[in-house]
Amino acid sequence: MTAAMRSAVYVGRVAHVRTGAVAHRLAHPLFFFGVDVDELPALSARLRLFAHNRSALFAVRDRDYAGAAAAGLRDAALEVARRGGVTAPIARVELLTQPRVAGFVFNPVSFYLCRDDGDDLVCAVAEVANTYGGRHRYLLWDGNRVGAHTYRTDKAFYVSPYVHDAAAYEWRFRLGPGRRAVAMRVLDRDGRPFFRAAMAGRARTLTDATLGWLSLRYPLQPARVLLSIHARAWRLRRRGIEHRPPPPEDTAWR
């Protein structure tokens, strides 16, 4: 199974850097899945510690992603791509995401990588979530590409009460053999970056042995990520960053 499967787990780090009057940085270990969505049923059938749309120690549930509860993960990504203007053929969809662990999940951002028959990237969909329960999907394609595997999108979704005056995001992918890396810069209205985030990891075979090791090395990772976000917010507020709630006209996060 493992030799034929494209899906893998990526083990590495995530880092955030905030510049300006109140500078802040952090980095910590992280793992994330890179699963070919068409392989999920087979992975669920063959692994004891992983399941698709049912309970297990590690799980991916379609309902955790915008538009996928009814359509499925592949069609949810393709719908965003086609609606946004992508006409090129898409042969497969890879999802970079954190799985549920012991029933709990929180993904600040997941990425659908839409590839052609030659495995080149046609487009990507970045699904961003906030701690208020909202989600928004950004299409990254030739229409907003600004460099090799680099894209710029206008900000269209309330994410954090401590990230003020953000106007745009710049996304960059590095998708080498056995490695996945995504970097994001937040730009102000003058096009100056003031916040950067990046996650990167190297592939490990998706087996029960690997999953067992992850459960010991990164216990309850999604819960720890959410706690880290709240702890970081508390530190920023203590250091004088204003807490700004969603503007009344911004209903996208609800």
Q: Which residues contact 167 (CB under 8 A, 6 or more apart)?
A: 154, 155, 187, 188, 189, 191
Q: Is 116 within a domain?
A: yes
Lowest mean pLDDT among 17-21, 71-75, 90-94, 154-158: 17-21
pLDDT at residue 3 tops 50: no
Decide: pTM greater than 0.95.
Answer: no
Q: Is 252 within a domain?
A: no
pLDDT value of position 246: 65
Q: Is 246 within a domain?
A: no
Domain that holds residue 31: 8-238
Residue with tokens 């999953």, as numbered in its chain? 211
pLDDT value of position 7: 97
Selected residue with higher pLDDT from 248 and 189: 189
Q: Is 79 within a domain?
A: yes
Q: Is 251 within a domain?
A: no
| Adjacency order of strands within the sheet including 50-52 | 50-52, 58-60, 100-101
Q: Is 69 within a domain?
A: yes
Q: Is 41 within a domain?
A: yes
Q: Is 85 within a domain?
A: yes
| Average pLDDT of span 173-202 | 93
Task: State how far the Cα of 115 lies from the Cα of 138, in Å rounded to an integer.
Answer: 17
Indicate the number of domains in the chain: 1
**Tens digit of pLDDT for each residue in 46-99?**
999 999 999 999 999 999 999 999 999 999 999 999 999 999 999 999 999 999
Which tokens go with 45?
A: 């059938």
